[in-house]
A and B are shown apart, each in its own frame.
Chain A
Amino acid sequence: MEKKNGFLTELILNNPVFGLYLGICSALGITTALDNAVGMGIAVIIILTISNIVVSLIAPITPDEIHIPVYIVVIATLVTIVGLLMQAFMPSLYSTLGAFVDLIVVNCIILGRAEAYASSHNVKDSIRDGLMMGLAYTFAILAMSLIRQILGTGVLSLSNPLTQQTIFSLRLLPAGYEIPVLTSQTGAFLTFACLAAAVAAYKNSIDEKEAAAAKEAAKKAAADKAAKAKEAAAKAAAAKAAAAKAAAEKSSVKEGA
């Protein structure tokens, strides 16, 4: 990928959720509160990184015809382990996320990265890719849940998933000014539409800038070329003139002789 872009730009522009529309189910379903988004994001980062490691290790010995079922079994095993751990240590988070924990199996981002990246790269690159993609996904659902929770309930709060103690709770909007529709299903779709449009607008502006820069560069190159051609022509003319002069001198010398 383009290394010249900053970390944040890459996170926004190559975002699997807003850019490629992968893994939208959970991005819409669980983003009513910050707690859910943090829990889901951590679960996805862990599963995605480990699945990338395992897939990059077993890819060379997996027969080509059955590679998708094999990857799915790897992912399903990891999801089962994470689900059981979550059920044991964070029962309240597990029950609010509900079916979406199991549905991480069919989250297109994980199978997509296994198929498109980890199966053809070494372990180190795969770990980096897994962390990057997991972070981008977490970034997207955090943005969704921040908007929906702050505007929808007016209160921003985060609690420790292990002990269920509130870490902080801030009222950012005065009571009566919140927009409850944002916590409903409609709000999920609307928030997603606005964020996706914002990302698209950002992308468009960058594309336009790049197109303008490319045009400028092309213009400059053309101008350079023209200048060079002119120079060359001038040089050639000068050389010709010199040659003619030399010839004339020669002939005059000859004549003199």
Chain B
Amino acid sequence: MTIGSLFTILIGGMLINNIILARFIGMCPFMGVSTKLSSAVGMGIAVIFVVFGASVMSYLLYYFVLVPLNITYMRLISFILLIASFVQFVEMFIKKTSPSLYKSLGIYLPLITTNCAVLYVAIDNITQKYNLIETMVNSIGVPAGFMLVLVIFATIRERLSGNDVPKAFQGNPIAFVVAAIMAIAFGAFAGLV
């Protein structure tokens, strides 16, 4: 393991295998909170934080509890419970310690439990057989890519809202057309590594 290979994981997770445009994971918040730039930024930060915490904890749970007990088939159930309780805990913690942060991030936290990105990154770290440091790098790279695309998409949608769109395409369908064009652009990253 070198710095180079870690960098490859970071760029790979962020740009090449972008979680939204290349893997189609985390579509619900992508469509749901991308109508305003400020909420996209808030959601992005919340996702980076939760994905990182939940992935590292899932890693520890998997290798120090599930593997020694030989119950790796319980992976899915234990991970989803871990994520749900972690999100709940973070929400309570932020509410107690920083009301202003809670005000700006709080409404996005419950939504994150049903964000498939969190579960996907936790499982991906295990199936790719990453070690702890690689897990940490991957768990920052992937949600950073999520935030990048979400913010770009939100700025486009803000401009789009004032335009004259055919009636049937109004709302979400035109947003999917925008996503299709962005997917072409992100396809160019494929040869980067």
Contacts and interface: CB of A to CB of B under 8 A. Distances in A.
Contacts of A29: 23-25
Given A186-B183, A198-B168, A80 B76 contact: yes
A194 B169 CA distance: 8
Report the contact-size class of chain A (Cβ under 8 Å from the partner): 35 or more
Please classify how large the interface on chain B is, using the bins under 10, 10 to 19, 20 to 34, 35 or more. Answer: 35 or more
A107 B116 CA distance: 8
A63 interface: no
Given A106-B115, A200-B170, 4 more contacts: A99-B25, A106-B80, A193-B169, A198-B168
Contacts of B45: none
A79 B79 CA distance: 13
A77 B22 CA distance: 28
| The 4 nearest A-B residue pairs measured at CB | A189-B180, A193-B176, A201-B168, A28-B24
Interface in B20-54: 21-28, 31
Chain B interface main SS type: helix
Max count, chain B CB within 10 A of own CB: residue among A22, A79, A185, A200:
A185
Interface in A69-107: 69, 72-73, 76-77, 79-80, 83-84, 99, 102-103, 105-107
Interface of B: 21-28, 31, 73-74, 76-77, 80-81, 84-85, 114-116, 119-120, 123-124, 127, 166-177, 179-181, 183-184, 187
Contact of B119 (A80, A105, A108, A200): A105
Contacts, number: 117
A189 B179 contact: yes
A190 B120 contact: no
A201 B167 contact: yes
B29 to A, nearest CB: 11
A136 interface: no
Contacts of A84: 73
17 contacts: A24-B27, A25-B25, A25-B116, A29-B25, A72-B80, A72-B84, A76-B76, A80-B77, A99-B123, A106-B116, A111-B114, A189-B180, A190-B180, A196-B176, A197-B173, A198-B168, A204-B167
B23 to A, nearest CB: 7
Which of A68, A83, A192 lies at the interface centre, i.e. has the most chain B CB atoms within 10 A of its CB?
A: A192
Interface string A208-239: 00000000000000000000000000000000
A72 B87 CA distance: 14
Interface in A46-73: 68-69, 72-73
A77 B77 contact: yes
B27 to A, nearest CB: 4
A79 B119 CA distance: 14
Contacts of A12: none
Nearest to A103: B116
